[in-house]
Structure 1
Amino acid sequence: MRRAHANRRACGVQTAWTSAESPEAAVAAIAEVVDPSDLGQLLVFFSQPYQAEALSQALSEAFPGVPVAGCSTSGEITPAGFSERSVLVVAFPKTDFRFVSRVIPEVRALSVERATEAVQALRQGLDRVNGKRYQNLFAVSLIDGLSRCEEAIVSAIAWALGDIPLVGGSAGDGLTLSGTSLLHDGQVHRGAALLLLVETAHPVRSFYCDHFEPTETKLVVTSSDASTRTVYELNAEPAAQEYASSVGLEPSSLAPMSFAAIPTVRIGGDYYCRSIQRVNDDGSLSFFCAIDDGVVLTVAEPRDMVKSMEAELEHLDTAIGGVDFVLGFECVLRRLDAENRQVKHKVSDLYRRYHVVGFHTYGEQYNAMHLNQTFTGVAIGRHGTS
């Protein structure tokens, strides 16, 4: 059996990860290195080759009574760097952290009223949890990455949360786009979302970062299907052909690497990415985010990914008096772009330096926005107030 690696931060958060072959072997290896004496919540991120039901059962047996929330990924961010076939467990202590969580099923039919009920139930749940009350709050969302309705989910949840910051990611399955899985307390869910509300004694700061700037090249969506996020025409021309022409590529060469390197962005107060998922056989384009007729997209060009992320992490470090740990959600297309530009090792080194853990996503959530090709998350400080 392949052994697990483990890491403990000053705030008490433990991280364990392994590339053991089976779900059972992975959980057994992780259980050997995680101190069980003060566990309050497990976050679990895993590559799709690990069967979700077997992994969920193994976690319940190895960590009885410990709440579990997690999802399948398009890659894990471990304390040792990037991984694409592993199980990663982030174990929060009861000391200085209080978690409550809830499954939101059938997210395609989610209403503001149902989202409000879920958030209210979580806040009431925090009130019932024994222990100290902490002033610092944040929320985490994990959403089925193929639900095609993250915008509506995040908007409804953020409205109900009010001024509580929300960060999160859309579950992935590598890049197969066939099905994602969510774990919650011994059960596997699909077509759903998980919402966690967290109180902590440690200073926290939510953030998002990207590395693109808009150009003058515009693409107007002139024919689309909003329900499937499919664009058939851009500028009244076949979508794949027009996108390829605009970025100087042949339509036959379009692939995930192309979309990672040259995304489109849209204005919404600020520019934010609307990333292309794939080229379809009919020459249409499927997107990771909501799209509709009349939307004006702008072709973007990259800035230095490493420098932009380093500047953000340095800012966070100053803002909270020293970053101890970052729970991060990064678009899988950013990882592909880093690989293509041969800076993946530099990004990985930077994340290790700031103790970033999390997963690569099909989309990222930040407050009321669902984003693409960004890095979002929450930084947690070393020094608590308790």
Structure 2
Amino acid sequence: MGVGSSAGPDGEKAGMRAARAALRDRGDSRLIVVFGNPRHDLTAVLRGITKVTGDVPLVGCSTSGEFTAAGPIFDGVVVAAFGGSGFQFETRAVEGISRCPREVGAEATESAATLAEGGHTAMLMLMDGRVERQEEVLRGAYDTLGASVPLIGGCAAPSPVNDTAFLLHEGRVLTDSLVTVAMRSEAPFGIGVAHGYEPVGDPILVTRSGPGRILELDDRPALDVYLDRLGASEEAYRDPQAFGLFALAHPVCVDRRSGREARLISGADFASRALTSPADIREGGTVWLSSSSTGTLLDAAGSARADAVRSLTGEPLGMLAFDGVGRLMMLGSESGPENEIRRLSGGNAEFPIAGCYSAGEIARSRGFNGFHNYAVAVLAVG
């Protein structure tokens, strides 16, 4: 596995430079994974990359920022190249994810059936981050794959200019799509995920909810319960901007078999006093309110790496990492992101890690779900 990056303003040249660095002294490339900032012309980025990589299968997505082991890169391009006879990859892209998320999730993961028998398998999934029913995509993947195939991936981040998220597949730039890679390796894959948000107080019953909305908690308006329990400022009760900043630091958590998972609170309806969320918050279930600190966020990155590496038989060849953009905002613009990357890379600035800041994360070693917010999800390649 090789990784290259470029932060140049010219998309085509940035793509070429990043691809050359990823392929340096490495032959037999089997798969190219691209993380690119949507401020770039991603068609030009693809053109530059394919001038270097030729017809090697390529997938990727737009991001809110990228990183390698050397540090974060904004307005840049990161390219990861996988090679060697021990790998097999089958890519697929399916459009229309916003209309039929479950059906698209099932169809796009059918590529796993084309893999040769034996070895170790995993499924890389890159989806449009604007999809409202994101967990339905994972249910579709479960319909096709069952519980045994590990999942890893993330949601493409939208451009701040036009709110459009982009997926890359072969020579195309797509929207409203799911891109998948069925992966087979002679050596194990390792998956780790953690978020670092800790529960605040007792669990709360979701007494009324609907698609994309939490209407009541403990038989009271959900917005008021949320703000009251967390001791929010008066501005957060009535001002959308103040609420958004407050909610960034306080996702809700739901219980899953794999552990307690954070879910994004994306906004508030001040008229109905409801909370809005792209996540699936089921009526009759319980949620925990949460908070975090720089320390717990950094510890989560170290935990995700350790869990991923633990599944391998030796040292990893490299890693893909999907880091929630909310975590980046909480870590701040000074040393927080650099410290997190050091945890992910094991303190080795030369370690091949290709990472992006995503609008939702996917990680499942086993079981039904695997969708996360505010998490860092890691694939370690053995």
Give the TM-score taking structure 1 as reference length: 0.82
1:196-215 equivalences under 5 Å are 196-215=181-200
Q: Give the C-alpha shift of residue 107 in structure 1.
A: 1.8
User: Alignment identity in percent?
Assistant: 21
User: Are 2:158 and 1:169 equivalent residues in the alignment?
Assistant: no
Q: Give the C-alpha shift of residue 257 in structure 1.
A: 4.6
User: Are 2:194 and 1:248 equivalent residues in the alignment?
Assistant: no
User: Are 2:70 and 1:77 equivalent residues in the alignment?
Assistant: no
Comparing 192-201 with 295-304, greater Cα deviation is found at: 295-304
Q: Give the C-alpha shift of residue 73 in structure 1.
A: 0.9
User: Are 2:334 and 1:333 equivalent residues in the alignment?
Assistant: no
Report the 3-state secondary structure (helix = DSSP H, G, I; strand = E; otherwise coil) of the residue aligned with 1:108: coil
- 8 A Cα contact 1:103 1:192, kept in partner: yes
Comparing 334-343 with 85-94, greater Cα deviation is found at: 334-343
Pick closer, same or farther for the CA change 1:342–1:113 going to 2, 3 Å.
closer
User: Are 2:46 and 1:56 equivalent residues in the alignment?
Assistant: yes
Pick closer, same or farther for the CA change 1:72–1:214 going to 2, 3 Å.
same
Report the 3-state secondary structure (helix = DSSP H, G, I; strand = E; otherwise coil) of the residue aligned with 1:323: coil
User: Are 2:28 and 1:28 equivalent residues in the alignment?
Assistant: no
Q: 2:267 aligns with which of 278, 284, 288?
A: 278
Q: Give the C-alpha shift of residue 371 in structure 1.
A: 1.2
Pick closer, same or farther for the CA change 1:74–1:111 going to 2, 3 Å.
closer
2:77 corresponds in structure 1 to: 87
Q: 1:266 aligns with which of 239, 242, 254?
A: 254
Q: Which amino acid aligns with 1:146?
A: R
- 8 A Cα contact 1:59 1:186, kept in partner: no
Q: What per-residue deviation string (whole Å, max 9, x for no partner) do you get for residues 216-274 of structure 1?
A: 24555556540xx2445555655545433321222146355533422211223432111
Comparing 168-177 with 145-154, greater Cα deviation is found at: 168-177
Rounded Cα–Cα distance in structure 1 between residues aligned with 2:61 and 2:103: 25
Q: Give the C-alpha shift of residue 181 in structure 1.
A: 0.5
Pick closer, same or farther for the CA change 1:237–1:176 going to 2, 3 Å.
farther
- 8 A Cα contact 1:217 1:246, kept in partner: no
Pick closer, same or farther for the CA change 1:188–1:171 going to 2, 3 Å.
same
Rounded Cα–Cα distance in structure 1 between residues aligned with 2:301 and 2:101: 35
Q: 1:181 aligns with which of 166, 173, 181?
A: 166
Rounded Cα–Cα distance in structure 2 between residues aligned with 1:79 and 1:341: 17
Pick closer, same or farther for the CA change 1:238–1:304 going to 2, 3 Å.
same
Q: Which amino acid aligns with 1:276?
A: I
Q: Give the C-alpha shift of residue 99 in structure 1.
A: 0.9
Q: 1:313 aligns with which of 298, 302, 305?
A: 305
| Runs of 5+ unmatched residues, structure 1 | 1-12, 128-132, 382-386
- 8 A Cα contact 1:47 1:173, kept in partner: no
Q: Give the C-alpha shift of residue 96 in structure 1.
A: 2.3
Report the 3-state secondary structure (helix = DSSP H, G, I; strand = E; otherwise coil) of the residue aligned with 1:348: helix
Rounded Cα–Cα distance in structure 2 between residues aligned with 1:27 and 1:100: 23
User: Are 2:6 and 1:18 equivalent residues in the alignment?
Assistant: yes
Comparing 242-251 with 108-117, greater Cα deviation is found at: 108-117
Report the 3-state secondary structure (helix = DSSP H, G, I; strand = E; otherwise coil) of the residue aligned with 1:304: helix
1:216 corresponds in structure 2 to: 201
- 8 A Cα contact 2:97 2:104, kept in partner: no
Rounded Cα–Cα distance in structure 2 between residues aligned with 1:46 and 1:111: 24
Q: 2:341 aligns with which of 327, 348, 357?
A: 348
| Runs of 5+ unmatched residues, structure 2 | none
- 8 A Cα contact 1:288 1:372, kept in partner: no
Rounded Cα–Cα distance in structure 2 between residues aligned with 1:361 and 1:84: 13
Q: What per-residue deviation string (whole Å, max 9, x for no partner) do you get for residues 358-377 of structure 1?
A: 21111111233211111112
Q: Which amino acid aligns with 2:249?
A: A
